[in-house]
Structure 1
Amino acid sequence: MDEVTTQFLTNNQTTFDLALALLLGALIGLQRGWKARERKSGERIAGIRTYALVGLLGGIAALLANEVTAWAFPVILISLLGVTLIAFYQRLQETRNFSITGTIGLILTFCFGAIAVAVDPVPAVAAAVVTAILLDNKTEIHALIRKLEAHELDAGLKLLLITAVMLPLLPNTDMGPGGLLNPYEIWWLVVLIASVSFVGYFAIRMAGPAKGILFTSLFAGLSSSTALTLHFARQSQQAPELSPQFASGILIACGTMFPRILVYCLLINRQLLPSLVWPVVAMTVALYLPALVIWHFNRAALAVKRPLLGKNPLDLKTALAFGALLTAILFVGELLKDWFGNTGIYVLSATSAIADVDAITLSLTRMSHGSISADTAVLGIIIAAAVNNLVKTGLATSIGSAPLGVRVAGPMVLSMFAGLLAIWLQ
């Protein structure tokens, strides 16, 4: 390639980058101009033309900084900031309505233009699109903040704490018997469970009970199917005529536990999936299908109160307790495996699942990397899931109305046998 061709391509690339800087500014300006479209000419501080020119100015500033002097960029940026502040100050004197968002938007537009020319067009485009979306959804974002309660904000910050702060600090080193205990991996499992519960809580919280029993129960299964079982069982005593709907909801929530198991295996040890997928599918269908049938024939009254999943979607004490439980199960599981072989693992699965199925599921999936065989882990997980659902059947039968217990017990027992049969056929 000769020097003339190289120069031609370079000039064309520069032209393209400057055009992109102009378009990115126009994109943000389109949103800002649309918001102020009802104002008269002269009342708008900056619209599509201004933002487009600011994006182009950012590209030219970056080009001048590269080709002429490094001082070009900061001088132009400071000049733009000065002009912007003067314009917004005059606007403030006239309307007494000031928002810093417009100033930040102009500065960002200038920077996007510079990035598109001097760095990489891809992040510039992505950042400009995200900025336009944030600016366009002011009403929705403010409404979301108004709906957010103090304990929910606290839960979100705690989730960030255990994910972005605590997790990187833990050593990623195998410890304990057989190198089974890895602090980083154990805490990562805690973060995984906390995240699933967090998503499930807010899915119900934002949608509300008006979405119906199926939607509510589906996402309650992500947060706590046991909590939903207890809640619906109590409600069935107060309103026995709604027992079919409550039974349908309990079955949906308990069935949601099985897809969660597949997600855990996919993230931790996907080699288990071929052996686990069919038993899990069989147990899920054995719960979902009766739930949908019950719902179909009793769908006249679908709206139910949102299940009481606790005041806090994420509690650090609970997370720490779950981490301790995971560690204990991993340690005890290793001992039982050495003492009693696979039988010890199965006994541990059954006893642990009385209180919680997630801890034993994650523990067995972790152990399947080398401590136990894949077949043992799969059978242990299915035993744990079946026992956990039988425990919830007992809760529904003992606390709820008689019709609720009957409708829940049959599919639960069927689900257990379906899972064991699928393993035996494999």
Structure 2
Amino acid sequence: MLSQTMNFIPPEFFKMLLVFFLSFLIGLEREEWKSISGKYAFGGVRTYPLIGLIGYSLASLSSGQMIPFSVGLIVIGSLMFLSYWHKIKSTQTPGLATEMVALTTYLVGALVYHNQFWMASTLVITSLLLLELKSVLEGLTQKFSPDDILTFTKFLFLTAVILPILPNQNFGEFQINPFKTWLIVVAVSSISYGSFILQKICKNQGNIALVALLGGAYSSTVTTVALAKQSTRTNHPHRYAGGILMASGIMYVRLALLIILFNPNLGKELTLPFSLLAIVGVGGGWLWSSRIESPTISLEEKKAYSSRNPLELKAAFLFAFLFVIIVIVTHYTALYLGSSGLYVLAGIMGVTDIDPFILGITQSAGQSTPLSVAAGAILIAASSNNIIKGIYAFSFGDRQTGKQSLFLLISLAILGLIPLIFQ
């Protein structure tokens, strides 16, 4: 009986019902905003559904011609102009969001008529989120500076401008792929930039664990040096030494993600040891820092180790250059010196930025370099890096923090070498 009844209902009825529902949601939100703020706003629960239905009707009557629909858009736009003009005369801070949402409602009607249901729904939901999150979004301006906007622009330049134009093919004796090389730069930059953004958002939440984890995702070496220097101004060695260990623990998570992304087979070799080392580093660091009072830090302390801009273009190009050089050096080392030579090179590379070396290993692992040898070299490089960070902490931190950090990081480095015994 129901199916027979449905056959008598034209499909246009359901489209108009969808337009009414989506437009009504916008009108309801605007009506609620007017009642809460007490300010003038165009339309409400009746006006917006009418605008949506007018958009649907004109799209239907246009029969593929844009002139009738465009005239309707001009009429609605003229009404929005008068509404905005009224707000300019009556308030010192007129907003344009309501008028833009009204034009959006008109377009929703046309989209539904042309069976663009997903686009129409997404447009309405996005509009509602932007309207409801007004205070939250405006609050972001207090956390992000013009330099941060420039940083985001650089991130887009690295990912959306440079990457797509690079050729995705191998060149030369070493089979260097420009696209894959820059993709590695983008991957490392994305993790660093994500950590940078989270630190900005959470900059007033002074918790040593949060700082250590986000800093470790950005750069455990930079975080170690910053925490060590800051420890000289306070007398909390356990807190800072624990934070330094946590930053090194989260380093293993970051490296595991990058390795799995660019060489899944090598990632399988290292998932278990890296997971255990991350748990030991993060968990052990948290326990070590909790041996004293609550690890809350002041805003002045937090400013001392806020991360710098992670997306300097010079650094990105330098990373790509180092990556290519290290791929070549690693190739010749494995070819002429074998696994022993590669292990020695890994130990040496650990005193610098290990990302180019480790990601270079991912390109040869399973081909010219056995997976077990590549995994061993990465473990050695990470352990060597932990030792050098311990030396940094000992050199830049206060005496107690330096001693504790050096002990903890050497212990983590030794644990990182244990898997080599079972290879």
- Fold match, TM over 0.5? yes
Output the amino acid matched with 2:211. T
The 5 Å alignment of 1:8-407 reads 12-38=10-36, 43-66=40-63, 70-95=66-91, 98-179=94-175, 181-208=176-203, 210-239=205-234, 241-303=235-297, 305-306=301-302, 307-309=304-306, 311-368=308-365, 370-407=367-404
Aligned counterparts of 2:95 and 2:199: Cα–Cα separation in 1: 34
For the residues of structure 2 that align with 1:65 and 1:99, how far apart are their CA atoms? Answer: 32
Measure, in 1, the Cα distance between the counterparts of 2:380 and 2:215. Answer: 22
* Conserved? CA contact 2:277–2:416, under 8 Å: yes
Runs of 4+ in 1 over 6 A off after TM superposition: 5-8
Deviation, structure 1 residue 352:
1.8
State the shift of 1:350 in Å: 1.9
Call closer, same or farther: CA 1:375–1:58 in 2, change over 3 Å: farther
The SS at the match of 1:37 is helix
**Counterparts of 1:185 and 1:139, CA distance in 2:** 41
Partner SS, residue 341 of structure 1: helix
Instruction: State the distance in 1 between where 2:65 and 2:11 align.
Output: 21
Q: Is the 8 A contact 1:247 1:407 kept in 2?
A: yes
Shift of 1:373: 2.2
Q: Which deviations, in whole Å up to 9, do the C-alpha atoms of 1:83-119 show, x marking residues without a partner?
A: 3323433444444653332221111111122212313
Task: Give me the whole-angstrom Cα distance separating, in 2, the residues matched to 1:216 and 1:107.
Answer: 44
Q: Is the 8 A contact 1:357 1:388 kept in 2?
A: yes
Between the aligned partners of 2:127 and 2:324, the Cα distance in structure 1 is 43
Distance 1:282 1:310, change over 3 A: closer
Instruction: Find the residue that maps to 2:236 and give its secondary structure.
Output: helix
What runs of 5+ residues in structure 1 fail to find an aligned partner? none
Specify the code of the residue in structure 2 equivalent to 1:225: S
Q: Specify the SS of the correspondent of 1:20.
A: helix
How far did 1:313 drift? 3.3
Contact in 2 for aligned 1:58/1:112 (Cα 8 Å): yes
Q: What is the alpha-carbon distance in structure 1 between the residues aligned to residue 319 and residue 166 of structure 2?
A: 16
How big is each residue's C-alpha offset from its partner over 1:206-230, in whole Å with a ceiling of 9 and x where there is no partner? 2125331001110011112112211
- Structure 2 vs 1, CA of residues 10 and 297 (structure 1 numbering), >3 Å: closer, same or farther? farther
Residue 213 of structure 2 aligns to which amino acid in structure 1? L
Bigger Cα displacement from structure 2, 296-305 vs 153-162 = 296-305
* TM-score, normalised by the number of residues in structure 1: 0.90
The CA distance in 1 between the partners of 2:199 and 2:93, in whole Å, is: 37
Identity %: 26
Query: In the TM superposition, what whole-angstrom CA distance separates every residue of 1:32-90 from its partner, at most 9, and x where no partner exists?
Result: 2221115779x542122212222222222333334x85543223222222233234334
Aligned in 2, Cα 1:291/1:209: closer, same or farther, shift over 3 Å? Answer: farther
Deviations 1:195-251 (A, max 9, x none): 211121222222125331001110011112112211221222332x21110001101
| Residue type at the aligned position of 1:260 | R
TM-score calculated relative to the size of structure 2: 0.91
Q: Deviations over 1:273-303 (max 9, x none)?
A: 3211111122223322321221222133531
RMSD: 2.5
Q: In the alignment, is the contact (CA less than 8 A) between 1:227 and 1:309 conserved in 2?
A: no
What amino acid is aligned across from residue 297 of structure 2 in structure 1?
A: A
Change (3 A) 1:223 1:290: same
Q: Which secondary structure state, in structure 1, belongs to the residue aligned with residue 421 of structure 2?
A: helix
Q: Residue type of the partner of 2:422?
A: L
Number of positions where the alignment pairs a residue of Structure 1 with one of Structure 2:
418
Going from structure 1 to structure 2, the CA distance change for 1:161 and 1:373 (only over 3 Å counts) comes to same
CA contact (8 A) 1:282 1:419 kept: no
Deviations 1:116-143 (A, max 9, x none): 2313211221221111111222222222
Contact 1:197 1:224 in 2 (8 A): yes
